[in-house]
Amino acid sequence: MKVNRIMAFKVLVVAAIALSLTGCSKGSSKNVSSATGWKINDKAGGFQHNSKFKKQATAPGLVLVEGGTFTMGKVQDDVMHDWNNSPNQQHVQSFYMDETEVTNIMYMEYLDWLKRIYPPDQENYKNIYEGACPDTLVWRNRLGYNETMTNNYLRHPAYAEYPVVGVNWIQAVEFSRWRTDRVNEKTLEDNKYLKKGGKLEAEAGKSFSTDTYLAAPTKTMGGDEELVLKKGRGRASKDSTNVYAQRTSGLILPDYRLPTEAEWEYAAAADVGQREYNIYKGQKKYPWSGSYTRSGKRKVRGDQLANFKQGKGDYGGIAGWSDDNADITNKAKAYPPNDFGLYDMAGNVAEWVADVYRPMVDDEANDFNYYRGNVYTKNKIGEDGKYEIVTTENIKYDTLANGKIIARNFPGELATVPVDQNETYLRVNFSQSDNRNYRDGDKPSRRDFKFGSEDQEKPEDANSSKMYNSPQHNVSGDSLGNMVRKFDNSNKRTTLINDDVRVYKGGSWRDRAYWLDPAQRRYFPQDMATDYIGFRCAMSRVGPKSDKKKKAKRN
């Protein structure tokens, strides 16, 4: 009996050793190419790949919005008779979105960084800081006393967690680009690709740019080798083949950006809370369930679920329990989130989205990640055959129609140019750099439009026959360098729509409940700001649609 036990024990030991060896061989196979059999991540060189990558890290401030299909543009009412909400079925890919609107304190951090890196008291940089500052005069009203908000709303700590306003669409885009670089800069510093604390030593021309680091790492941060670490200087020697972080490292996140209109509407509607198998149970009028703006839950019954104008001269309700606790904007997270965990997707402030406005959404052309506004660019190659870096000498500024000057790019970033025939030749998916007008209903969108033919409209007749014949205000300079503003007084203009008007979504503290419907859409010039439009950022998701393993529903 004793012998049998010994033999059984030996068999178990042998089996355990065999299993462990099998496990080791399976683990090691991850570092062997299934295409060539060559070793991956070999210390001696060869193909390097992050085989330990698990999933995209959730960047600061963001929550995951799992993608899916939904009916875009489905509104319960159209009292404005805009007829710009034709329901159409769209699919949105998974993405990340800011949990709250960008707040004053978040934007103040951006302004503080610009002020340190590009001191506004220096002539070369004064327009960088000034161009990024919100327009605090949006609070003024001819017959209203609002100087308290004009002087305090942006900078006073009492409003720190309130959504930033007075920011135009262009400024919102620039903030998103800045945020991308700062987050990736910290990630690379934490992983010892950049000098610890180097971000505090940066100066004009030596600030970190994600695109520059990926395309020309030796030129990043002014090419300062003390800030951008090489092999053996902060990285383990076994990783010597991976001198700089790359896309293959899995560390560098996609860009922060404005959400597309489809993404914003999908995230705001949050129909996921109404899901029953592969259908939605009923139509939601607001980001929350039900057809009313007040809560029906017993503990908070009657409380308003958003910050909006309840009637003429009624921006919050009667003081007390029925009040929405806000007369202008309210601090972030003051109201319950929707089923995606997003706050203030209705009310508080309306929000810029990325899309150029057109009255229709062309779902026949595309029903996946719909977006109007693509302008494709590529990195500019200098005369020396290398990537051209923006410097303090060649920085570009844009003068907006209202005379405000905004920096188009910052020193240290890559210069870009529109894509040309090298990228568009014999392509079927795009044929030009600027696609904002693609299939938008104007004359060049017609199938019978004959470019360059004799019956093509003459330049002098172009404005009279354009579908989107908007005012053309102009800003120029005279011989003395003074700015000359020319206001378009023509009474022949037929529309306010052009390529520089952007969609904004969601109701605000100034709007009635009608505008709280996620499908409602409006537009505003991209270079103008108001006291009721803010924004939040989004980020594309790379990899699987969801982090969760799908399971069948059990009753």
Q: Is 197 left (phi over 0), alpha (psi -120 to 50) or beta?
A: left
Helix H or strand E encompassing 197 = none
pLDDT at 240: 47
CA angle 417/176/352 to nearest 5° reads 100
> What is the distance of C-alpha 203 from the center of its chain?
26
Residue 347, class by beta-carbon neighbours within 10 Å (0-12 exposed, 13-18 middle, 19+ buried)? Answer: buried
Task: Give the ranges where 385-505 is alpha helix by DSSP (H).
Answer: 421-424, 462-465
Tell me the C-alpha distance between 213 and 222, whole Å. Answer: 11
Q: At what angle do helices 104-117 and 169-190 cross, to 10 degrees?
A: 80
The closest of 498, 545, 506, 546 to 526, measured between CA atoms, is 498
> Dihedral (C-alpha) 284, 286, 287, 288: value to the nearest 10 degrees?
-70
Q: How many CA atoms lie within 13 A of 76 on its CB side?
A: 14
Give the closest residue to 475 by CA, choosing from 462, 486, 463: 486
Mapping DSSP to helix (H, G, I), strand (E, B) and coil, where does residue 379 land?
strand
Residue 63, classed as helix, strand or coil, is strand
Give me the pLDDT at residue 547, please.
Answer: 84
- Ordered per-residue pLDDT tens for the chain, 555 residues: 555 556 655 555 555 555 554 444 444 466 888 899 999 888 777 888 888 888 999 999 999 999 999 999 988 888 888 888 889 999 999 999 999 999 999 999 999 999 999 999 988 888 899 999 999 999 999 999 999 999 999 999 999 999 999 999 999 999 999 999 999 999 999 998 998 888 887 787 788 999 999 999 988 888 888 888 865 344 443 444 458 898 988 999 999 999 999 999 999 999 887 777 777 766 778 999 888 888 888 877 878 889 999 999 999 888 877 778 899 999 999 999 999 999 999 999 999 999 999 998 998 899 999 999 999 999 999 888 899 999 888 888 888 888 888 888 888 899 999 999 999 999 999 999 999 999 887 766 655 555 555 444 444 444 445 667 788 887 777 666 677 778 888 887 778 888 999 999 999 999 999 999 999 999 999 999 999 999 999 999 999 998 877 766 665
E strands along 58-100, which residues? Answer: 62-65, 68-72, 88-92, 95-98
pLDDT score of 27 = 42
Predicted pLDDT of residue 233: 40
Query: Smallest Cα–Cα separation from 268: which of 357, 326, 339?
Result: 339
pLDDT of residue 456: 46
Instruction: Determine the pLDDT at residue 231.
Output: 52
Query: 300 with 550: CB under 8 angstroms?
Result: no
pLDDT given for residue 466 in this prediction: 60
Contacts for 244 with CB less than 8 Å, ≥ 6 apart: 193, 213, 217, 228, 230
d(CA 168, CA 534): 8
205: closest CA among 257, 106, 128?
128
Tokens 């890196």 belong to which residue? 117
Q: Is the dihedral of CA 453, 458, 462, 464 positive or negative?
A: negative
What pTM did the predictor assign? 0.88
The two structure tokens encoding residue 274: 């109404």
Q: What is the DSSP string of 13-50?
A: HHHHHHHHHHHHHHHHGGGB-TTT-PBTT-TTSS----
Q: What is the pLDDT of residue 518?
A: 95
What lies within 8 Å, CB to CB, of 255 at 6+ separation is: 176, 177, 180, 210, 539, 540
Neighbours of 301 (CB within 10 A): 10
What helix, strand, coil percent values describe the chain, rounded to 5? 25, 15, 60
Q: How far apart are CA 115 and CA 128, in angstroms?
A: 9
Phi/psi at 538 (nearest 5 deg)? -130, 170
d(CA 525, CA 529) in angstroms, rounded, equals 8
* pLDDT at position 28: 47
pLDDT given for residue 211 in this prediction:
95
Domains along the sequence of the chain with CATH: 62-436+507-540 (3.90.1580.10), 437-498 (no CATH)
